[in-house]
A and B are shown apart, each in its own frame.
Chain A
Amino acid sequence: MTVSTTNTVPVPPGLVIAPQLPDLLAAVEIRRGVLGFLRNHPVVAIGGALLLCLVLIGIFAPYLGTVDPTALAPAKRTRAPSADFWFGTDALGRDIYSRVLYGARVSLTVGLSVALLASLAGLAIGLVAGFVRWADGILMRFMDGLMSIPPILLAVALMALTRGSVGNVILAITVAEVPRVTRLVRSVVLSLREQPYVDAAIASGTRTPMIILRHILPNTLAPMLVQATYICASAMIVESILSFIGAGTPPTIPSWGNIMAEGRALWQVKPYIVFFPAVFLSVTVLAVNLLGDGLRDALDPRMAKSL
């Protein structure tokens, strides 16, 4: 801040006006808005951009030089990458490039849906469990029970009851992830509940739903958002594991998980079948994790030690 040197006010005797000092610190540009946020936190920007890229690839897959991902050509099976087949062909002669690009849709859908659904469910249950004491015991025991059901059992049972599908995979993984979110939300709520301002709110007669909405909820959103990104990443990996045991998405719907699972026996001799979906999967998971880390650091660095 500079001080004007032209006197507009008569200076009382005995007072001295300090001389203008040079600026030691550079002017801080206060960045506002989303763009400002992104420039402040490059990690979020990078993660988000990568993720956006992959989502776009999934959406525009038909226009990116792909063919029908389910078109078989057993006579041309397991060919190495070439001009015709950019990523090679799999054990049934299907073009891996097309399958990987279309697979982006499925894997991202699974990841994002699971993250969303598990977060919503976990948020609801966790809030109630953390805040309403008498419900805490019952709900958390129920969560314990839920965690002890192997997700594989659920996935195979769902598959047997109906058929292998993206929906069943999402359902099975969501059920497995909800307890994690619930525990997180509950632990945040438990520590927040003891804060002075919450006590004050209770003392001043605010009703419970209002307290949850006004005081607790905003504070849980930040860690929840971060946790959601981790769940998204984890769900995509779990999907590939379900494909590994044969309870994942059916082969007529390619996903990175089932491309890897189908090609895994051959990986010593034809590594490209596993390589390309693995690269895409790890880049996506990386992007999502960077996003999560960046958000966490941006929103509240102290969250780091609880996540």
Chain B
Amino acid sequence: MDRRTLLKAIAGAGSLAATGGLSMPALSQGAAARTLRFVPQANLANFDPVWGTQYVVRNAAAMVWDTLYGLDATLQPQRQMVESEEVTDDGLTWTFRLRPGLKFHDGEPVLAKDVVASLARWSVRDPMGQMIKAIQNELTAVDDKTFKWVLKQPYPKMMLALGKNSTPCAFIMPERMAQTDPFKQITEYVGSGPMKFAKGEWVPGAKAVFEKFSDYVPRQEKASWLAGGKQMLIDRVEWVVIPDPATAAAALQNGEIDWWENPIPDLVPVLRKNRNISVDIADPLGNIGAFRMNHLHPPFNDVKARRAVLTALSQEDYMRALVGDDNALWKPLPGFFTPDTPLYTEEGGEILKGKRDVAAAKKLLAESGYTNQPVTCVVAQDQPITKAQGDVTADLLKKIGMNVDFVATDWGTVGSRRAQKTPPGQGGWQMFHTWHAGADCISPAAYNAIRGNGDKAWFGWPTSETVEKEVTAWFDAKNIDEEKAAVKRLNKAALEDVIYAPTGFFLSYTAWRKNVSGVTKGPLPFFWGVSKTA
């Protein structure tokens, strides 16, 4: 028996006597084996996955609500709640049939009207949903188990839209909840998935508890990401928010938590040395680091200035700043699409490859007519990824002779400042940093950040006719070869016009104690199939 337990036993006996047996006994060994304590990547501040689109909300929601389709490890949408689907030859009418046995957590069966209401709410907020809604004729329930979506034009990516894992996902909620305004939050959390959300035990910012829903009927197929049978092998999942990474590392080593979603790379060697801990890559789709320049105002309204920055940009510097000395955790990225995915391409990426040429960058900058005006670079200090990138950028800009106006602030401010189209002197900006989940960059489908439609584009408002043409070409492509060709041309154009600057591709680890098994790689942590021995 180790010292902690001995001390506990003595003290426990003492306090038991003192308080006359009022204290509850600690969790028995058996109960402990069925509780999984998990440290999420961020604080679960709210729990409406359509209203609030942060990744951590989606990760939690994936346990509580089910989807019609689910992306599997081969990036193909597979049926989940749907038993069968039919699409007419002209591609305009989609009819779906739900599989039997689906129940909500309050015992009510999942009916087509619930699905219709959920999809209506989702399609207001989701980019692909908005595309479908724009060409929609009607979305109705045919009977209790069947619903159909009638369109004005074909939309071949329908199943992808309904099963994708990028936020917001098309989660199916009870009709009364789904009728909430999509710009307001839901107030109850009755779900359709394998775990129930214990609202009474929720301490926002500190702890969230999920309990097994015993009436959930999983599919027969093997689980693969969001597809297949979601078998819950543990009764209870506790999400414990530990804001300090050193503390989280210590807690994992101590056995106070079982699974840490993303340990920082510098602490991984310590975790690896520990006999009781396993470490592996969390998500093979990784992340793409980025910074965006403002195309509306000088100096970056001139493509030469933007290309000057790319010419001197060293992706190795950025990636080392983010992931440290571990070479397994990063790859150079001469393009905008996730490595090791079907549409990955390096077309047009020469500007980011090879030895960095500061002299050429300075020359390009001079040609663009840069006259030493200050470049306002807004950097969020409370997000480690943007903070590290910001430091490297300041150094990069100084190297090519730009006058950097480094504004250290917080993510909330960056969020609202980047939406300002005013000139930098009047509250605008010229550069900000961000990153994208690799899962969102595998195709132009939900990839807002690659678009070049000027005023309607993402912050920075790049304009590129070629990029827009190729995005449309991709949506219209009839087979994978056409898709690849379109994406190649898109990549090249995006680099020529510098829609944004990719700083590299990076991965992160996940770490868990050896008495936990079933942890799989994926774009989010999956809790089905995970079990724990005492």
Contacts and interface: CB of A to CB of B under 8 A. Distances in A.
Give yes or no for direct A-B contact (beta carbon below 8 Å). Answer: yes
Interface string A12-55: 00000000000000000000000000000000000000000000
A159 B378 CA distance: 12
Interface string A239-264: 00000011100111000000000001
16 contacts: A74-B319, A75-B316, A75-B317, A75-B320, A91-B324, A92-B392, A160-B413, A163-B408, A164-B408, A246-B382, A252-B391, A264-B246, A265-B246, A265-B267, A268-B250, A268-B267
Nearest to A75: B320
B410 A159 contact: yes
Nearest to B384: A265
Given A252-B394, A269-B266, 9 more contacts: A72-B317, A74-B318, A74-B321, A77-B321, A163-B408, A163-B409, A164-B409, A251-B391, A264-B244
Contacts of B318: 74
A266 interface: yes
Given A74-B392, A164-B381, A251-B408, A265 B324 contact: no
B407 A77 contact: no
B177 interface: no
Contacts of A215: none
Interface in B372-406: 379, 381-382, 387-388, 390-392, 394-395, 406
A21 B316 CA distance: 88
Given A70-B395, A163-B407, A246-B381, A77 B324 contact: yes
Interface residues of A, number: 29
A78 B323 CA distance: 12
Task: List 6 A-B pairs, minimum CB-CB distance, nearest first.
Answer: A250-B408, A164-B408, A74-B320, A246-B382, A246-B381, A265-B245
A71 B396 CA distance: 10
A269 B272 CA distance: 13
B412 interface: yes
A125 interface: no
Contacts of B379: 250
Contact of A77 (B244, B246, B264, B320): B320
Nearest to A264: B246
Given A78-B266, A78-B325, A269-B266, A159 B395 contact: no
Contact of A91 (B270, B321, B410): B321
A266 B384 CA distance: 13
A268 B249 contact: yes
A193 interface: no
A233 B266 CA distance: 32
Nearest to B253: A268
Q: By DSSP majority rule, is chain A's interface helix, strand, loop, or mixed?
A: loop
Contact of B410 (A74, A156, A265): A156
Contacts, number: 95
Contacts of B395: 70-72
Interface string A159-202: 11001110000000000000000000000000000000000000
Contacts of B316: 74-75
A252 B408 CA distance: 9
A86 interface: no
Interface string B509-521: 0000000000000
A74 B320 CA distance: 6
B269 interface: yes
B321 A92 contact: yes
Nearest to B245: A265
Contacts of B413: 159-160
A142 interface: no
A263 to B, nearest CB: 10
